[in-house]
DNA sequence: TGAAAATTTGCAACATTATAACATTCGCCC
DNA sequence: GGGCGAATGTTATAATGTTGCAAATTTTCA
């Protein structure tokens, strides 16, 4: 869960990460939340990968920084980032990925390639609507939605 | 993850389980798959609960039978049941539940109550369609779909 | 300022979920 | 009833996630 590969589509990823971090700082400031160095570093590490990153991958990356962290450090940072909508947890992978719509209220769909392991977050309002309707038909009140599609991305389709 | 509660709607659950087991036997027979005693017992244990059951819950239930099983026994049985579509894995809970559409090709939506922990499987073709379209729009080829909605069921709504 | 309070972090142990590797037994076919 | 592949038993270990408490840091407010 830690080898390198091209992101979904080529782009200046360093800039992409910086923009995400700036957005995160703004979100935290607006909500009086403290984006401490550890939290920010964890967010940066997650953003640097287009693949969902496991908690222990983050831990290993912190170790390379010389930060001798234990699991709770990472999980606490992840809890914070989840709480403020800065990252998502991909349940089917036990892994985390940066949210591309931080600060906006949204229901995401994740397209997860089983070959290259990249994951793409979609807003997909039509899916969100269909889910809401299905739940309403059962008088069920949705609080949190997990929609993860595993398959093949266009780049990996011809294996 | 093992206390008892009413199922979503009251019904004769023993009959419900027996019907599921009969269906499972039919599916296995049709595919020349061996529904061995351990596998069938695991399926029965899972069906007896309307709540998704963890692998170690199953293990504990087997122990009460006097079956001194180790984790691989349970995971192998679960793998078999998953492979033949007799149970589903709920990724957000690390737990398993009997499939109410065994033998039929389907994309399910799970409504999972955070209060009573019951889970309801829906066919929800409109959701499946919306997901397919969203994936197609990204030239993504879906292979497996995880849709899990956590929230409050009608019985638990007024806490 | 400067102590009290709240939040965050460090740290050790532990809990839960899942798999690897290899030996043994079972069911089936001949 | 011997051979063979599938299924199970057994032991150990990997991977993921949590609890509890102490130390350090930041915030609050007198
Ligand atoms: Zn998002
Ligand atoms: Zn791919
Ligand atoms: Zn099903
Ligand atoms: Zn409920």
CATH of B3-158, picked from 3.40.50.920, 1.10.10.10, 1.10.486.10, 3.40.50.300, is 1.10.10.10
The reply to whether A32 has its C-beta less than 7 Å from any atom of strand C is: no
Cβ–Cβ of A146/B92 closer than 8 Å? Answer: yes
pLDDT at A13: 87
- Output the pLDDT for position B2: 39
pLDDT digits (tens, 9 = 90+) for A103-146: 888 999 999 999 999 999 999 999 999 999 999 999 999 999 99
Sorted by where each begins, the domain ranges of chain A are: 3-158
Ligand (nearest to CA of A118): 2
Q: Report the distance separating Cα A151 and Cα B141, nearest Å.
A: 5
Is the shortest CB-to-strand distance from A63 to strand C under 7 Å?
no
Specify whether the CB–CB gap between A51 and A117 falls below 8 A. yes
Residue A159: predicted pLDDT:
59
Question: Which pLDDT value is given to residue B126?
Answer: 96
Across chain B, which has 159 residues, the per-10-residue mean pLDDT values are 51 92 96 97 96 98 96 98 98 98 92 96 95 97 97 88
Q: What is the mean pLDDT of residues A15-29?
A: 96
How many cross-chain Cβ pairs, A to B, lie less than 8 Å apart?
A: 126
Q: According to the model, what pLDDT value does residue A92 have? A: 98
In percent, the amount of chain A with pLDDT more than 90 equals: 87
Q: Which of B145, B133, B72 has the alpha carbon at shortest distance from B109? A: B145
Which pLDDT value is given to residue B103? 85
Could you tell me the distance in Å between the CA of residue B87 and the C1' of nucleotide D7? 20
The reported pLDDT for the residue numbered A9 is: 67
User: What separation in angstroms does the CA of A88 have from each of A84, A102, A125, B31?
Assistant: 10, 10, 17, 39
Tens digits of residue pLDDT in A89-101: 999 999 999 999 9
**Which residues are within 8 A (CB) of A27 and not within 5 positions of it... i.e. 6 or more apart?**
A33, A84, A85, A86, A102, A103
Half-sphere exposure of B70 (CA within 13 A, CB side): 1
Mean pLDDT rounded to a whole number for chain A: 93
Ligand nearest to the CA of A153: 2
Q: How much is the pTM?
A: 0.92
């Amino acid at each position: 869960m830690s080898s390198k590969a091209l992101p979904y589509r080529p782009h200046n990823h360093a800039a992409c990460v910086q923009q995400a971090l700036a957005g995160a700082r703004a979100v935290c400031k607006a909500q009086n939340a403290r984006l401490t160095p550890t939290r920010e570093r964890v967010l940066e590490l997650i953003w640097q990968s287009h693949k969902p990153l496991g908690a222990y991958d983050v831990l290993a990356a912190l170790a390379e920084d010389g930060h001798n962290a234990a699991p709770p450090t990472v999980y606490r940072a992840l809890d914070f980032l989840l709480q403020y909508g800065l990252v998502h947890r991909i349940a089917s992978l036990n892994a985390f990925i940066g949210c591309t719509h931080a600060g906006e209220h949204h229901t995401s769909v994740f397209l997860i390639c089983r070959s290259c392991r990249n994951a793409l977050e979609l807003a997909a309002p039509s899916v969100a609507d269909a889910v809401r309707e299905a739940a309403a038909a059962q008088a069920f009140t949705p609080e949190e939605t997990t929609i993860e599609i595993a398959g093949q991305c266009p780049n990996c389709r011809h294996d």
